[in-house]
Amino acid sequence: MTKRTNSWPMVVPPGTKTVGTARVRDDASSVGYAQRKLAEKFGTKPAHSFDDIADGAKSAGANTPAYRRETVPSPGMAKPKKAPKYRNTKCEQNGIRFDSLKERAHWLKLIERQAAGQIRDLELQVAFVLTPRKQRDDGTWERASKYVADFVYVEVATGKRVVEDVKSPATRKNTTYVQKRKQMLAVHDITIKEI
């Protein structure tokens, strides 16, 4: 490979078609017909070309690399949403947000059980510390590890505290959840009831 002797930015005289083996683009063709028509219709500036970015054009995204810049969808075209990993549907009931419809349905059943007097002290999203926050030898801190249970309540008949988590067959196999389930048993002597 030969060393470049020219300084950057390279100056190319107007009308030049090639420099070495590289083809010089015509400025008029840098924006396609469809882009020009959309820009005229919506009154927006066409998307920047590579040359505009290399020349240091001042715009909202000029300082970010082209591969990291997100394009803004034109009006009427919404960006498609990515489906949730476990195909759950997030929902809300009386101002409480739930991660799935199954979790909300179980919450409503537990409220009925509490009203009937079968359970008491019903709580939602209770955090249990599995490993406390500790300082390393270099002075930095290691964060505490926590498990957040979906539901915690006390059975009236037995007086035992119950920790429940709504899980699908796929999420029961999640390695992070399995590890935290084992730590709950080891640290707090609590067996998580999977729904």
pLDDT-derived band at 60, boundaries 50, 70, 90 = very low
Predicted confidence at residue 2, as pLDDT, reads 58
| Per-residue pLDDT tens over the stretch 116-131 | 999 999 999 999 999 9
Within a 10 A sphere around the Cβ of 44, how many other Cβ atoms?
13
Task: Specify the amino acid at residue 11.
Answer: V
Of 148, 144, 142, nearest to 128 by C-alpha is 148
pLDDT-derived band at 72, boundaries 50, 70, 90 = low
* Phi, psi (degrees; rounded to nearest 5) at 5: -95, -25
Within a 10 A sphere around the Cβ of 172, how many other Cβ atoms?
12
Residue 178 burial class via C-beta count within 10 angstroms: exposed 0-12, middle 13-18, buried 19 and up? exposed
Task: Specify the amino acid at residue 21.
Answer: T
Predicted confidence at residue 58, as pLDDT, reads 52
* CA gap 186, 195 in Å, rounded: 21
What is the model's pTM? Answer: 0.57
Q: Which residues of 79-104 are buried (b: 16+ CB within 10 A; e: fewer)?
A: eeeeeeeeebeeeeeeeeebbbeebb
